[in-house]
Amino acid sequence: MSPSPNYEFQEWWNKQRTDNEQSDHHLLQKSAFLTVDIQSPTSAAAKDRSRSARQLSWIYLLKFHQITHTVAFLTNGFISIICTANRRITTASAVPRFESRFYKIIKFFLFISVCLLIFELVAYFKGWHFSPPTLESEVEDLLEYVYAKWLVTRANYLAPPLQSLVNVCIVLFLAQSVDRLVLVLGCFYIKLRGLKPVAEMDNEQDDETGGGNVDNFPMVLLQIPICNEREVYQQSIAAVCIQDWPKEKMLVQILDDSDDTDVQSLIKAEVQKWQQRGVHIIYRHRLIRTGYKAGNLKSAMNCDYVKEYEFVAIFDADFQPAPDFLKRTIPYFKGKDNLALVQARWAFVNKDENLLTRLQNINLAFHFEVEQQVNGWFINFFGFNGTAGVWRIKALDDCGGWLERTTVEDMDVAVRAHLCGWKFVYLNDVKCLCELPESYEAYIKQQHRWHSGPMQLFRLCFVDILRSKVSFVKKANLIFLFFLLRKLILPFYSFTLFCIILPLTMFLPEAQLPFWVVCYVPGLVSILNILPSPRSFPFIVPYLLFENTMSVTKFNAMISGLFQLGSSYEWIVTKKLGRSSEADLVAIVENESTPMVESGIPRSSSESGLPELNRLEMTNKSLKRRRNRLYKKELALSFILLTASVRSLLSAQGIHFYFLLFQGITFLIVGLDLIGEQVS
């Protein structure tokens, strides 16, 4: 049965046609009137033009003056920009061979992307995107034949292997996402059940009584490894020396590896100041500085007097433990002879300093709140963070002590202790103040060491893991979760999927990357990562984009560590600025005042910790100068992603276009060093 005619629509259509015809008629009348008016010049108009000749000459002179002024202004501005860029932009003088090779590969992909984009733009404007030419039909010119041949080649030979790689990366991505989800669920379980480690304490060692019997306190060695860290040595030494622990039961070792004689003199003076206050503190400086931090700690542990001590607490030069740090960590060792390590959580004094520190805080909050806590509670193993931890010296000796074979000596000794059967405890409620790197240059150097070192260690200890006497579950956790999934697969798929495969799928549309892989799953993973720091939720989009940007550094470090390429064994001390919160400085000053009064030593104004640290902070601020470095790999990748975004715009792929556009802009911002604090 045919549908009944729609008379209302017919009436509306007729009315629209009538209105359009009337509007067209009025337009024709207006154009005719204008034509007549223009084509009939009058003598009065010519008279006016003859009268305004002198006025026109002045107008031309004024315009010429404006043009010359504009050219001069633009020239001065251009010269000023060049001078500023020359003053602020620096490039690395020596680039490792592997990094230069890696950069050449990225440049090759950029060249291919630009060529393909130009080719696709020509095809788009010729209409071949809407009616693709084929080899069977007649082609008009050589370019059309080449494009038809390209379509067949990419569909039959290039897209299938790329699609296979896409599928592999999607599987790895989903596996890593499931791992994150399981960790978050485990953290929720710990929070809901109120689970936390329990310490056995004597009444004499309770915080309220203060430990009436000194003999009940074990001997503790406190170590501070330092290397040319002028900005932070003072506050770290002060925080360690005011520990609420019997002075005769603790010894502070200042392990100075500085090659700057001025820094050595400053640290020696600081040590002498605390020695005068009755603190057992010694200064050590190695003549042969091999093995970086591991060699420094190994040399200190070889001293004869170390045998008298039962525990050793390690703090990096920028860490400031609270006065009750030892009283809140040492009691967990009592009654647990198989406990090797008590690890405290890091807290950051400058987490809100700039966007870079905020994004770092998200990652490290998830690491400590979720990863360390879940692994510590369920399997009694996690990677030692290298600082803010207390080791049983017997456990260190049992697993071979500090080794210099990798740049992650902390993870190395933790894995070996775990294979020897020792257990670890993580304390999420015991926090130790420290600093985050505020410049991108310092941050990528730190991340390079953190991601190349685990691959060095995995290559060296893989056989030891298989031969160890631990259970099969612990071996599988070490190999598949601790090393492969979280240290190798994560940087591999993050860089390959979002920086290489996604742009290639824009030029090879026969290989499809589902939109949920680009949008939904990364968004869900970012939400999981940001849960431990809920105040950072407004930064979830910058966090997602920045993590993908950092994947190039992490992937480069992972490959160099796995295959011993480039600068995998390079150790560069992370640049810190010596920031401290005002409350911490006041607490140090208040604690410093007590022993000075008791010992009767006169206290000069220059010995106050607060004026010294404030003066040091002002000196740092006055010496700061903004400088930018150009990061070539990030810049090249930004151009790859931006060219791919233009190609996706031709195909009307909305989600892919926006992701590529914003990711390319993020790479560009990072490549120009416009994130974080630039410090000379």
Catalytic site residues?
257, 410
Among candidate residues 492, 519, 171, the one with its CA nearest the CA of residue 163: 171
Helix (H) or strand (E) holding 425: strand 423-434
d(CA 85, CA 659): 30
In the structure encoding, which two tokens stand for residue 469, read together?
């006497």
Q: What is the 3-class SS of 409-423, one letter each residue?
A: HHHHHHHHHHHCCCE
* Residue 456 half-sphere exposure toward CB, CA atoms < 13 A: 26
d(CA 451, CA 566): 14
Among candidate residues 629, 617, 586, the one with its CA nearest the CA of residue 353: 617
Query: Beta strand 89-90 with 311-314: parallel, antiparallel or unpaired?
Result: unpaired
Orientation angle between helical segments 540-562 and 520-530, nearest 10 degrees: 90
CB 434 within 8 A of CB 348: yes
* Residue 151 half-sphere exposure toward CB, CA atoms < 13 A: 15
Q: Which residues of 598-628 are buried (b: 16+ CB within 10 A; e: fewer)?
A: eeeeeeeeeebbeebbeebbeebeeeeeeeb
* Residue 210 DSSP class: T
Q: What is the amino acid identity at position 380?
A: N
* Residue 529 DSSP class: H
d(CA 418, CA 207): 31
Orientation angle between helical segments 582-599 and 233-241, nearest 10 degrees: 60
